[in-house]
Amino acid sequence: MTHDPMPDALLPIALDPSVSPAADPGAEPEGFLVAADDGTRIHFHDWGVPVGESREPGVVLLPGLLGPAWTWAPVARRLAGARRTVVADLRGHGLSDAPPGGFDLDTLAADVLVVAEGSGALDQGTVVLAGHGFGAIVVAGAAALLGERCAGLVLVDGGWERVEETTGVDVDEFLRGLDEPPEVLRSMDAWLADRRGFDPATWDTDQERAARDAVVETAAGRLLRAVRPHVVEAVVRSMFAYEPGETLVRVTAPVTALVALASGETGARLVELRRTASARAAAGRSPIRVAGFPTDAHNLIRYRPAEVCAAILGAQRVTIA
């Protein structure tokens, strides 16, 4: 059963893309590894420290389901001009280790803390966390673990919803739907053409690099998903087990939700957002700040990088729409 949100449980905000620094096309992050509590090595990109002294919190970014760290490059190229910016690969993704287990949400959230501490993003005492899709679920858990050390949490089209409620499918059907058509995996050219087709206007070298990082090319020229099958199944089951109301009520930091309204199932997703916001309000937490994107689909990092950057830079402040 759903119910109306409590008064002021949701707070619309306006995002001004002009506050985002210009993207630095020549920036290139350094790659590092840090050991999680169980010895799993977690890889992250460090986009560096902005010029001049800053007391602002660092930022840790997390990609979405099956996405490599490079998916955040359109935002990181802007954000790094203002904040210490780090992008982590989830365990089992990108250049992080893929152990047999450890893909439950608690362990994944703890990995984020290890990255925040090991990268220096927490050197100012607090950190802003942002995640896309499944990454938003993981950083929500990390924000709850950090408590007052989390300065702000930005959920980029995910992290506030129960996935089974908004997709209308169960976990097994969702897993079957992740299979790529054989013709898309027949060659790198076919794969890149498919990914370019989502929005040719935003296709660039960063998009191509992220697409290439998501697959492995065999000697015969065919492609395999870079994330191993046991990881895919484990993280999807963790995603379906997520209860946003239970996690986000434990987050003391301001929470910002960016909602791609062209992603489908909009009505169900907004119901879930209201439900989660009501749970936070009932627990005495601050309203969830919300910015909607009526014409954009799920990958807001690709379609709206300046606005996403603006949301992260303003994670500790509110501009009422």
Q: For position 304, which CATH number holds?
A: 3.40.50.1820
pLDDT tens by residue, 91-141: 999 999 999 999 999 999 999 999 999 999 999 999 999 999 999 999 999
**Distance of alpha carbon 70 from its chain centroid, rounded?**
12
Query: Residue for token digits 């199932």?
Result: 265
Average of per-residue pLDDT across 167-187: 96
pLDDT at 52: 75
* DSSP tag of 204: -
pLDDT score of 14 more than 70: yes
Nearest C-alpha neighbor of 290 from the set 305, 268, 306, 269: 269
β pairing state of 150-156 and 255-260: parallel
Q: What is the pTM of this model?
A: 0.95
Residue 85, domain extent: 10-181+242-313
Q: Answer yes or no: is 165 within a domain.
A: yes
Q: Where are the beta strands (DSSP E) in the chain?
A: 10-12, 30-35, 41-46, 58-62, 85-88, 127-132, 150-156, 215-217, 223-225, 255-260, 288-293
* DSSP tag of 13: B
Query: Residue for token digits 């050390």?
Result: 149
Total domain count, the chain: 1
Q: Answer yes or no: is 148 within a domain.
A: yes
Q: Answer yes or no: is 194 within a domain.
A: no
